[in-house]
Amino acid sequence: MRNRRLVRAAAVFTGLALLVAACGDDDDTDTGSDDTTTTAPEDGASGEGNELVGLRGTTPLPETTDAVTAFQARMDEADPALEDYNYGPETYDAVMLIALAAQVAGTDGIEYASEIINVSRDGEKCTTYADCLALIEAGTDIDFDGVSGPLDLDGVGDPITGSYGVLSFGEGNQIDDSLTEFIVRSSPDEVADQPVVPVEGTRAGDGVLTIGTLLPETGNLAFLGPPEVAGARVAIAEINDGGGFNGADVVLTESDSGDTSTDTATTSVTRLLSENVDAIVGAASSGVTLTVIDQVVGAGVTMISPANTSKTLSTYDDNGLYFRTAPSDILQALVLSEVITDDGQTSIVILNLDDAYGNGLGEDLATNFEAAGGTVVDRIVYDPQAQTFDAEVSEAAAADADAIVIVGFEESSRILAALVEAGVGPNEIPTYGTDGNMGNALGTDFNAGE
């Protein structure tokens, strides 16, 4: 495989780290309030069931509009037990891109991968499968705008623009939607305007577009599984109701990705490939994707993740077959740094899990925060499979920083419990999370002592 993406990483680091100071006044930021300084909550907000009050964090999230609200209602119909909607829109968008690209190419073989970037940009805008299909059948180039927001993909298959929600926990240790703010950021022009990477390899289609999911039914990102699966099911229903692929229904086959502590993903991918899938939507975890991406693209199968955010995947040699509908963490690091700085924090300690996601986001957050004039007192890398996090919490408390940032997954609830026990929880010290832990499932796990 060719090493043909390194230019992107260099451009992003030099471009985005220098954008921090300017972004504070960006017109695309809706802070929801003129006073953005965050302090520890009043005593009345503390106590059992409110220990996470004050916890804030970022996650890719489209701004709430009538269309987004309607889409969430469709997700609820697909799964009435949903607690969170995280990455459901991005999963829907991934499935739609696959079907539309295959329709343009007229095949479910490897050739359709060359159309995925094309259908995401530079054509006539459309937002539903039926409308997009009508344009395609009329010979019109399309620009599919998804539920997750503007979906223009750059030359290596990453979204150029990221829409982020800044979430805040309230009473009952659940997210208070009334406090959610939205920030939109885009990559520099030198990144957005890169040439499209050509697809390499061969794989014939069989005329039936089959899409497999590789999403977390188990493991440390299991809270993301239900909304992602619901998003995929909503997309498939819309596609088949709107005409399918070449007049036939698109087939969906689901599988569990697990996490990096198991070989679940490898087992699932092996099964999906044996079923002749034309694309795999997933994984959610960047670390999991890195364990199976060679197997997938080596078979000539397209892989689109709705939730991978590690910068490592922007420069991975993937034969032009890997894409994602969630923006790189290089953008999330920029946004989170901006949020923390605007909240008035001048020093932070970062706790990040030891994998491609945690290390990448932790490093870039530190770079951006320091570029904005802040001080990173310490960056503590931890094993997410550890039995306890007492040593890491003690080190974080000793750092005596203005704020604590946790870049983690399911284990974040236990880290927060240890911080609360040590007297440095969100009620006492401003605390921030990221897309890997910012969901109502975090509060549910915390309340249950899990």
Residue ranges per domain, the chain?
66-159+190-324
Task: Say how far apart CA 62 and CA 41 lie, in whole Å.
Answer: 27
Contact partners, residue 42, CB within 8 Å, separation at least 6 = none
Q: Give the three-class secondary structure for 175.
A: strand
State what percent of residues in the chain have pLDDT above 90. 78
- Tell me the mean pLDDT in the region 133-150: 94
pLDDT the model gives residue 1: 31
Lookup: tokens for 405: 């940032």
Task: Say how far apart CA 272 and CA 212 lie, in whole Å.
Answer: 6
pLDDT the model gives residue 13: 34
Residue 170 near residue 53 (C-beta atoms within 8 A)? yes
Q: Which fold would CATH assign to domain 66-159+190-324?
A: Rossmann fold (3.40.50)
pLDDT the model gives residue 30: 41
Residue 210, phi then psi, degrees to nearest 5: -120, 125
Q: Is the pLDDT reported for residue 250 higher than 80?
A: yes
Q: Is the pLDDT reported for residue 200 higher than 90?
A: yes
pLDDT the model gives residue 47: 56
Residue that has been written with the tokens 């451009």 in this structure:
11
Query: What confidence tier does 425 reach under pLDDT thresholds 50, 70, 90?
Result: very high
Q: Is the pLDDT reported for residue 339 higher than 90?
A: yes
Q: Is the pLDDT reported for residue 29 higher than 80?
A: no
- Tell me the mean pLDDT in the region 110-133: 96
Q: Is the pLDDT reported for residue 330 higher than 50?
A: yes
Q: Is the pLDDT reported for residue 211 higher than 80?
A: yes
